[in-house]
Amino acid sequence: MTSTSLDVERIRKDFPVLSRELPGGRPLVYLDSGNSSQKPTAVVETVREHLAMHYSNVGRAMHALGAESTEAYESARDKVAEFIGAPSRDEVIFTKNASEALNLVAYSFGNPGNTDPRFTLGPGDEVVISEMEHHSNIVPWQFLVQRTGATLKWFGVTDDGRLDIADISGLITERTKIVSIAHQSNVLGTINPVADVLRRAREVGALVMLDASQSVPHHAVDMAALGADFVAFTGHKMVGPSGIGVLWGRAELLDAMPPFMGGGEMIEAVWMDHSTYAPVPHKFEAGTPPIVEAIGLGAAVDYLTGVGMEAIEAHERGLTAYALDALREVPTLRLIGPDSLDQRGATLSFTLDGIHPHDVGQLLDDEFGIAVRVGHHCARPLHLRFGIPATTRASFYLYNTTDEIDALVRGLHHVQKVFA
Amino acid sequence: MTSTSLDVERIRKDFPVLSRELPGGRPLVYLDSGNSSQKPTAVVETVREHLAMHYSNVGRAMHALGAESTEAYESARDKVAEFIGAPSRDEVIFTKNASEALNLVAYSFGNPGNTDPRFTLGPGDEVVISEMEHHSNIVPWQFLVQRTGATLKWFGVTDDGRLDIADISGLITERTKIVSIAHQSNVLGTINPVADVLRRAREVGALVMLDASQSVPHHAVDMAALGADFVAFTGHKMVGPSGIGVLWGRAELLDAMPPFMGGGEMIEAVWMDHSTYAPVPHKFEAGTPPIVEAIGLGAAVDYLTGVGMEAIEAHERGLTAYALDALREVPTLRLIGPDSLDQRGATLSFTLDGIHPHDVGQLLDDEFGIAVRVGHHCARPLHLRFGIPATTRASFYLYNTTDEIDALVRGLHHVQKVFA
Amino acid sequence: MIGESMYQELILEHYKHPQGRGLRDPYDAEVHHVNPTCGDEITLRVKLGDAGKIEDVSYDGQGCSISQAAASVLHELTTGSTVEETLSVVDEFTRLMQGRGKVEADEDVLGDAVAFAGVAKFPARVKCALLSWMAYKDAVVRSAAR
Amino acid sequence: MIGESMYQELILEHYKHPQGRGLRDPYDAEVHHVNPTCGDEITLRVKLGDAGKIEDVSYDGQGCSISQAAASVLHELTTGSTVEETLSVVDEFTRLMQGRGKVEADEDVLGDAVAFAGVAKFPARVKCALLSWMAYKDAVVRSAAR
Ligand SMILES: Cc1ncc(COP(=O)(O)O)c(C=O)c1O
Ligand SMILES: Cc1ncc(COP(=O)(O)O)c(C=O)c1O
C-alpha cells in the first residue's frame, strides 16, 4: 500500500470513465496518463455548461454573453498563472497544445524582421536540446536551424537514463542562443537537473526553455522558483480538455519577440501595408482562441489544487516505488530509465525479451483492458540511443492504484505465456 | 414572414442558450453569429460524452479508448470532407481556428528549405489580398512579405461594398504567387466573385486561397465545384466547439508544402539531426490535436446536414430581405454593404448618425438583451476605406427569427431616443 | 434593465453635458492619445498652479459616450486638487477598470467615477474609459518634467 | 476477451510457425521495406513462374507478431496463384486494413487474411499488417518490369 493523504477511491469516483466497462466486459485499467489523462466530472461539466449556456466569442464581443465568456476565459488565465506561480498573468499564453508553444518560441528566432540580439540566429549560432526529447521539442528546432543555418547540438543520455551533463561546458557555449530540454522525460521518467543547465546557460547568456508537459501535471511547479525563460505544457495531460496548451515566458522576452501567427485579437491596429500588435498575452493569441478549452483547463487546475499537488506527487511516488518493486519480478523485464525513486516521476518504460511492445500492449488491452502505451512514445532518438525500436510504458496519475499495478504484472506474465 | 422549409421554432429548442434569461430578466436576442455561433445540444452532448467516457489520445494509442478516440476523430474528418465535397479526406487538416489555417499556408511560402517553385517567394513576387479582409487574412500575408521581401497588393472595395475587380488584370499578374480573399465578407455580407478571380489567377499561374469562415457555415460549399487551391474555415462559427478550424487544400499542393509546426504525430521518423514527415493530413497536425473539438465539429456538420444547408440558406435569405426592409425605416441608418439580396449573406453592418456603435451595441444589450457586434469586426482597413471607425453589425443564422429583427429595430429607435 | 448597467444616468449626463470641454490656454503640456482599436481620440492639456495644484485640465476629443464622459469626469475630479491626489485617483480608477468587474470601487477616492464600475466587465470598453485618464497621467508627467 | 480480438489464434499460429520464411534463390526481385515509426522491417523476394504465376515468395524480417504473421499469410496466399489474382487479394487486404474497422472483409477473396480484420481499428497497427503486403506489391512491379 502507498502511504498518502489522498483518498484514491474517492478520486476515482470523480472520473466517470474509470468505472466504465470496455467491450467484452473488461474493466478499464488506465495506465496511459503520460500520453493523455482522463477528465473529472468537474472539468466535463464546466465545458458542457459553458458551451450550452454561456458561450460567445471573447474580447471583441460587447454583450452579456461576450462578457461572461471573456470573464471565464480570462479567469482561466488567472487560475493557470496562480497554479504555476507566474509572476504575471500576462505571461500565460494559451496555445492549442505544448507543441504549438514550443514551435512559437522556435519561430521567434531568426526572424529577419526582428533585430533583438537575443532572437537573431544564423550560421555560427547554436541551439542545444537533448537526446531524450519528445519529437515536439526536437523537430521545431530542426526546422529553425534548417531555416537559419544555425547548428543543433544535444545532450546525450547515460545508460541509467539520466541527462549526461559531464561535458555541459563544452556543449553550452558562448555560441548557444537557447537550450530547450524536458523538465521530466516522457519515457524515462527522469527529472532533469534544471539548476545545472540554468547555471551554465546564464554564464554564457543563453536562454532556457523547459518542456514541462510531463512535470506540471504531476508536481507543484513554480515559475519564479524554477528560473527558466520559457515553459511549455499541455492541458490534456493535466485532467484538462484537449485543444489547449500553455506557453509561459518572461514578460520582457515575450515583449521582445516577434509575433508568431497573425490575425484577429493579436493586433493593436491594422492598415493594409502594416500593423501594430497588442501587448502580451494577446500578441500571441491570433484568432478566436480555444475558449471553452481554456475555461476547462481552469476547472482542471482548480480540481488539481483541490486535491493538492503535494498529495498527488506523494501518491505517485508511492505507486512508482510499488511498481519498481513489482516489475523487478517479471522475468526478462528490462527497465529503460532510473530504477530508483531519486529524481524520477511515475513513468516506467520497459522491454520484455523476444516480445515486441506492440504485442505486449495489444494483448494487455485485448485480454485485461489494461491501457499502456507502446512504441517510441514520440521519442525515437532516445530509443535509438538504447538500441531498441520500442518500449512498453506504464504511466500513473492521481487516480491509479496499486491494484492496477498488480493487474499489470499479472498481464505481463500472461503475455509471456501467450508468446512462449 | 420568411418562406422557408425550416421550422425555426423547433430549431431554437435545439439551442439551450436561446431560452436563457440574461441577468435582469432580459431575454436573449442573439444576432452575433458572424462573430461566433451558438451550439445545439447534439454538439454539446457529443463533446460531453466523449470527454467523460471515451477520451484518450489518438493515433499513437493502441488500446480500446485509443481506438474509440481515433475512430471518432478520423470519422469527424470524413464528415467534414463530405460536408465540403473534398475530393479526398486526407485534404482536410484540422487546425485550432481559421487563423491558424491561413497562417499555415502563408508560412508555406518562402521557406528556404523548400524549393518547389510554387512556394518560393522573394523580392519581385507578389501576394494579392483585398481591402475587405478580416485581419486573419491580412496580417499573415504582411508577415510573409516582411520575411521575404515580396510585395503585398490588394483589391479595393466599391462604394456599394463589392470587390473592385475593374483592374483585375493589372492587379493579378505574372508576378502573383497567391491570391487570398474572403469568400464572404464578415462585415459587408458580400459574396465575392470567386470565378472571376480564379480565371485570372489561372491565366498567370497564381494559387488561390479562400477565407470561407463566413460562407461554409451558411451555404452548401463544394470544394470540387469551387475550384480554389486552399480554403480555410472555423468550427465555432458553424455551431461547432471552439478550438477547431479547418484547412482544405489540394493534395498535390499540400504534398509539396513544407511542414509548418514540428512535433509528435507529424513525423514519419526522427533522428537527432533530421526528420522525415508523415503524409497529409498528419504532416500538418503537430502534437495532440484538438480531439474532442474535432469530434464536436463532426457532430456540428451532422446537425447542419440534418437541417439542410439549402434550407438554412433560404431561411437566412428570408431574414436578410426582411432586415434590409426593416432597417431602411430607421432614421439616419446607413448600411455599409450591398443593399440588395444579390450575392450577399445574412450580415448587415451599419452606422447611425452621431451615435458611436459602441454605445449602440451596449445599450441594445443593456436594455433589451440584444447581442450585436460593434467595432471594426477585425476588418479595420475596410472601415478606414469607408471613413468610419466602427459599425454595428447584426448577423443571422438558422435559429434567428423576424421577431428578433423587429426587436432590433425597436432597440435602435430606443437608442436614438437615449442619445437624442 | 440590469442593476449594473453601463449607462448610468451620470455617464449620460456627462456625455450630453461635458464639463470643461474645449482646449484652453495657457498650459504646461499637451498630449494626443488614440485608441486604434476603436478610433477614439483625445487631445488633453494640463496647467499646473501653485502648491502642486492642478489649475486646469482642458480637452477635446471624439468617440463613444464612455470615452467622452470619462474625460468630463476626469476634468471635474482633477481640477483644483494636488497632483499627488489626482494621481491616486487615476490609480484607483485604473485598478477598478482593469479588475474585470471583480474589484470593489473605493467611492471615497473615486467620487463620480464609480459610475464607470459596470464598464470593467467589458475589456473592449475599458480602453474607452481609460483613454483620457491615461492621457492625463502622461500630460502630468510631461508638465512636471519641464 | 472481446469478440474482435486482434490476436486471433490464426495470427499467433502464423507468428509462432511462419510459413515459407527465409530468403531463397532464385528470385526476380528483392525489396527491403521498413516502418520507421515502429522499426518493423522486411526483406522480400519474388520469383515469377510460367503463365503469370507466382512461383515463390520468400522473406525475412523482424517486428511484432502482426507484421510477421502477415508476411506468413501473404506467402501462403500468393505462392502458386497468378500475379493478377494476388494483386486483387492485396487490394482487398489494403481496403480492409484502411477501413478503420468499418469495412466488411470479403472472406472469399481474403481467406486466412480475414483474421486481421481486428487490426483495422488501430491505425498504428495497420502499417504493421501492411508492411509485407506493400513490399510484395513493390516486388511484383519490379519483377514485371525486368
Ligand atoms: C472572414 C473571417 N476570416 C477569418 C476569421 C477568423 O476565424 P478564427 O477567429 O476562428 O480564426 C473570421 C472570424 O473571426 C472571419 O469572419
Ligand atoms: C515531454 C512531452 N513534450 C511534448 C509533448 C507534446 O504535447 P502535445 O501533444 O500536447 O503538443 C508531450 C506529449 O505528447 C510530451 O510528453
Instruction: Please tell me if the CB atom of residue B262 comes closer than 6 angstroms to any atom of ligand 2.
Output: no
Provide the β-strand partners of residue B154. Answer: B129
Gyration radius of chain A's alpha carbons: 22
* Dihedral sign computed on CA atoms, order C79, C81, C83, C84: negative
Boundary (domain end) residue, out of A305, A329, A354 = A305
Boundary (domain end) residue, out of A281, A305, A329 = A305
Pick from A298, A293, A257, A274: which is nearest to A117 by CA? A257
Look at B66 and D122 and tell me if their CB atoms are within 8 Å: yes
Instruction: Judge whether B377 lies within some domain.
Output: yes
- Cα angle D25, D81, D144; round to 5: 60
Instruction: Judge whether A38 lies within some domain.
Output: no
Look at D7 and A376 and tell me if their CB atoms are within 8 Å: no
Residues 6+ apart with CB under 8 A from B211: B98, B102, B133, B134, B136, B137, B180, B181, B182, B183, B232, B233
Q: Enter the C-alpha cell of residue A394.
A: 506504464
Same domain, A379 and A357: yes
Q: Strands of B158-239 (E only): list them.
A: 163-164, 176-182, 207-211, 230-234
Q: CB–CB of B412/B333 below 8 Å? A: yes
- pLDDT value at position A169? 98
Same domain, B390 and B273: no
Match 481620440 to its residue by C-alpha cell: C41
Question: C2 exposed, middle or buried (CB, 10 Å; 0-12, 13-18, 19+)?
Answer: middle
Instruction: Judge whether A1 lies within some domain.
Output: no
Same domain, B283 and B315: no
Report residues of chain D scoring pLDDT below 50.
Answer: 1-3
Q: CB–CB of C140/C79 below 8 Å? A: no
Contacts of C128 in chain B (CB under 8 A): 358
Mean pLDDT, residues A115-143 taken together: 98
Instruction: Judge whether A209 lies within some domain.
Output: yes
Residue ID of nearest Cα to ligand 2 atom 12: A213
Residues 6+ apart with CB under 8 A from A234: A97, A98, A99, A101, A213, A244, A245, A246, B287, B288
| One-letter amino acid of A370 | I
Pick from A225, A283, A233: which is nearest to A253 by CA? A283
Q: Which ligand is nearest to the CA of B60?
A: 2
Question: B331 exposed, middle or buried (CB, 10 Å; 0-12, 13-18, 19+)?
Answer: exposed
- Cα angle B30, B36, B42; round to 5: 85
Domain of A12 in residue numbering reads as 8-30+308-418
Same domain, A381 and A242: no
Q: CB–CB of D125/A362 below 8 Å? A: yes
- pLDDT value at position C1? 35
Q: Tell me which chain B residue has its CA closest to the CA of residue C16.
A: B419
- pLDDT value at position C36? 76
ipTM confidence score: 0.93
- Given a cut of 80, whether residue C125 has pLDDT beyond it is yes
Instruction: Judge whether B39 lies within some domain.
Output: no
Q: CB–CB of B285/B265 below 8 Å? A: yes
Pick from B80, B91, B78, B93: which is nearest to B250 by CA? B91
Match 450591398 to its residue by C-alpha cell: B338
Q: CB–CB of A320/A346 below 8 Å? A: yes
Torsion of CA B195, B198, B202, B208, to 10 degrees: -160
Instruction: Judge whether A15 lies within some domain.
Output: yes
- The DSSP call for residue B235 is G
Secondary structure of A20-70 in HEC code, one letter for each residue: CEEHHHEECEECECCCCCCCCHHHHHHHHHHHHHHCCCCCCCCCHHHHHHH
Domain spans of chain D, in order of start? 2-141
Q: What's chain B's average pLDDT? A: 96
pLDDT digits (tens, 9 = 90+) for B373-393: 999 999 999 999 999 999 999
Same domain, B147 and B110: yes
φ, ψ of residue D20 in degrees (nearest 5): 70, 15
Residues 6+ apart with CB under 8 A from A278: A265, A266, A267, A268
- pLDDT value at position B59? 80
pLDDT digits (tens, 9 = 90+) for B105-139: 999 999 999 999 999 999 999 999 999 999 999 99
Mutation site for A-interface testing, chosen from D4, D65, D125, D126 by largest number of A Cβ within 10 Å: D65
Same domain, B212 and B321: no
Instruction: Specify the fold of D2-141.
Output: Sufe protein. Chain: A (3.90.1010)
- pLDDT value at position C3? 39
- Cis omega (within 30 of 0) for bond into A281: yes
Mean pLDDT, residues A209-215 taken together: 98
Whole-number Å distance between alpha carbons of A180 and A190 = 16
A244-266 as b/e: b if 16+ CB within 10 A? bbbbbbbeebbeebbbbbbbbbb
Mean pLDDT, residues B356-365 taken together: 94
Mutation site for C-interface testing, chosen from A70, A73, A75, A266 by largest number of C Cβ within 10 Å: A70
Whole-number Å distance between alpha carbons of B66 and B59 = 7
In chain D, the largest separation of any two C-alpha atoms, in whole Å, equals: 48
Q: Minimal Cα–Cα distance from D124 to chain B, Å?
A: 6
Mutation site for C-interface testing, chosen from A63, A71, A265 by largest number of C Cβ within 10 Å: A71
Q: What's chain C's average pLDDT? A: 90
User: What is residue C122's three-state secondary structure?
Assistant: coil
Mean pLDDT, residues C26-52 taken together: 90
Q: Which ligand is nearest to the CA of B262?
A: 2
Of the candidates B62, B74, B75, the beta carbon closest to that of D124 is on B62
Provide the β-strand partners of residue A291. Answer: none
Q: Minimal Cα–Cα distance from A387 to chain C, Å?
A: 55
- Given a cut of 80, whether residue B61 has pLDDT beyond it is no
φ, ψ of residue A205 in degrees (nearest 5): 75, 25
Q: Point out the residues of B that are catalytic.
A: 378
- pLDDT value at position B218? 98
Bridge-based pairing state of the strands B207-211 and B176-182: parallel
- Given a cut of 60, whether residue B324 has pLDDT beyond it is yes
Higher pLDDT, A4 or A166: A166
Same domain, A295 and A337: no
Which range among A262-271, B300-309, D29-38 has the greatest average pLDDT? B300-309
Residue D33's H or E segment, with its range, is strand D29-35
Percent of chain C clearing pLDDT 70 (strictly above): 96
- pLDDT value at position B303? 98
- The DSSP call for residue B419 is T
Same domain, A13 and A53: no
Contacts of B358 in chain C (CB under 8 A): 38, 64-66, 124-125, 128
Higher pLDDT, A14 or D37: A14
- pLDDT value at position D1? 35
- pLDDT value at position A4? 52
Torsion of CA A280, A283, A285, A286, to 10 degrees: 170
How many domains in chain B? Answer: 2
DSSP H helical ranges for A172-308? 194-204, 223-226, 251-256, 291-307
User: What is residue B22's three-state secondary structure?
Assistant: strand
Same domain, A185 and A229: yes
- pLDDT value at position D102? 85
Return the CATH number at B160. 3.40.640.10
- Given a cut of 60, whether residue C2 has pLDDT beyond it is no
The catalytic residue among A86, A378, A405, A412 is A378
Mean pLDDT, residues B340-369 taken together: 95
Boundary (domain end) residue, out of A290, A305, A320 = A305
Residues 6+ apart with CB under 8 A from B202: none
Whole-number Å distance between alpha carbons of B263 and B288 = 9
Residues 6+ apart with CB under 8 A from A349: A187, A188, A189, A335, A336, A337, A377, A391, A392, A393
- Given a cut of 60, whether residue C45 has pLDDT beyond it is yes
Whether D and A touch, i.e. at least 3 CB pairs below 8 A, reads as yes
Residue C5's pLDDT band (boundaries 50, 70, 90)? low
- Cis omega (within 30 of 0) for bond into C26: yes
What is the Cα A29 distance to its own chain's centre? Answer: 22
pLDDT digits (tens, 9 = 90+) for A56-93: 999 777 899 999 999 999 999 999 999 999 999 999 99
Mean pLDDT, residues B266-291 taken together: 96
How many A from CA of C91 to the centre of ligand 1? Answer: 36
- Given a cut of 50, whether residue B3 has pLDDT beyond it is no
Q: CB–CB of C122/C6 below 8 Å? A: yes
Of the candidates C1, C2, C38, the beta carbon closest to that of B358 is on C38
| One-letter amino acid of A5 | S
Residues 6+ apart with CB under 8 A from C9: none
Residue B4's pLDDT band (boundaries 50, 70, 90)? low
Mean pLDDT, residues B91-101 taken together: 98
pLDDT digits (tens, 9 = 90+) for A219-238: 999 999 999 999 999 999 99
Mean pLDDT, residues A328-336 taken together: 97
- pLDDT value at position D40? 87
Q: Tell me which chain B residue has its CA closest to the CA of residue A42.
A: B52
Same domain, A318 and A300: no
